[in-house]
């Protein structure tokens, strides 16, 4: 059954986009006949669209085969450039959670706390519910360690002067010296692992999300329960996926204006 279109529908635009979508990783080059078959257009119509796209610089041809040019990336750039950090991060969190089968989140540093700006919850592993806007003390969280580790020395000193390093569990780092040592290690290896410092049974690992200028603007993490995931499994199985997710988010943020990209 043919889909009903509104009176506003521009069929030529619909067909032109269909021609672009005909190309893909498994079909980087197509003949005129290929495009006509995939799109359902006549050969004459497919030819007109392909040649128009070639005139505009979105398609190239050697006379027989057609392929997309890098200019088609501009079409996605307009979308990415209008997105904020949560919008950019969410699809990557969905993929990350699907890969490791655990909840994932993105947060930013605000005062002495981390604030959640995006989250995909697979299961509830804390006694409190975590939502966008939830705050936790930075010193006791993996994302907090990542964000604190990137602070200039003067800002870190100011944070430690004001922070109350309360013992939330038997594992919480409550001395300034111990926390400074941990942050130095996080800075060196590029990711943070917190084992039951915020809540008993909760393990989490986080990686930095950097701006185009290299500044850490947010952190992405994966959290799990100690009863089902060993520390070795966190390091060996979760960290690689986490780092890749952070890199994908950074790549998308790189084409978004910083004034919007880091907005919560």
Chain segment 107-118, per-residue pLDDT in tens? 999 889 999 999
**Three-state SS across 79-104?**
HHCCCCHHHHHHHHHHHHHHHHCCEE
The order of strands in the sheet holding 65-68 is 30-31, 65-68, 59-61
Distance CA 88, CA 103 (A): 17
Mean pLDDT check: name the lowest of 215-224, 241-250, 254-263: 254-263
Mean pLDDT score, 68-89 = 74
**In terms of Cα–Cα distance, which of 53, 83, 81 is closest to 68?**
53
Mean pLDDT score, 85-94 = 92
- The predicted pLDDT at position 100 comes to 93
Q: What integer best gives the mean pLDDT of the chain?
A: 88
Chain segment 181-199, per-residue pLDDT in tens? 999 999 999 999 999 999 9
- The predicted pLDDT at position 259 comes to 43
Distance CA 96, CA 92 (A): 6
- The predicted pLDDT at position 257 comes to 57
67 and 60 Cβ atoms separated by less than 8 Å: yes
Other C-beta atoms closer than 10 Å to the C-beta of 104 total 30
Distance CA 13, CA 184 (A): 54
Is the predicted pLDDT of residue 234 greater than 60, yes or no? yes
3-state secondary structure of 248: helix
């Amino acid at each position: 059954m043919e889909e009903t279109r509104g009176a506003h529908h521009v069929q030529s635009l619909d067909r032109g986009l269909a021609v672009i979508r005909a190309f893909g990783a498994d079909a980087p080059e197509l003949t005129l006949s290929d495009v006509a078959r995939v799109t359902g257009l006549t050969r004459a119509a497919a030819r007109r669209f392909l040649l128009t796209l070639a005139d505009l610089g979105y398609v190239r041809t050697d006379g027989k085969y057609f392929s997309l040019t890098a200019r088609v990336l501009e079409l996605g750039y307009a979308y990415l450039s209008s997105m904020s950090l949560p919008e950019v991060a969410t699809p990557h969190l969905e993929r990350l959670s699907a890969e490791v089968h655990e909840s994932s989140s993105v947060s930013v540093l605000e005062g002495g706390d981390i604030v959640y700006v995006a989250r995909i919850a697979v299961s509830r592993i804390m006694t409190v519910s975590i939502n966008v806007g939830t705050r936790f003390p930075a010193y006791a969280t993996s994302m907090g360690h990542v964000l604190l580790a990137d602070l200039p020395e003067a800002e870190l000193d100011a944070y430690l002067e004001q922070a109350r390093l309360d013992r939330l569990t038997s594992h919480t780092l409550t001395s300034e010296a111990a926390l400074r040592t941990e942050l130095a290690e996080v800075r060196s290896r590029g990711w943070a692992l917190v084992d039951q410092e915020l809540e008993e049974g909760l393990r989490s690992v986080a990686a930095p999300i950097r701006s185009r200028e290299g500044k850490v603007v947010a952190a992405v993490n994966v959290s799990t329960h100690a009863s089902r995931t060993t520390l070795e499994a966190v390091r060996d199985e979760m960290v690689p996926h986490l780092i890749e997710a952070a890199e994908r988010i950074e790549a998308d943020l790189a084409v978004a204006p910083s004034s919007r990209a880091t907005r919560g």
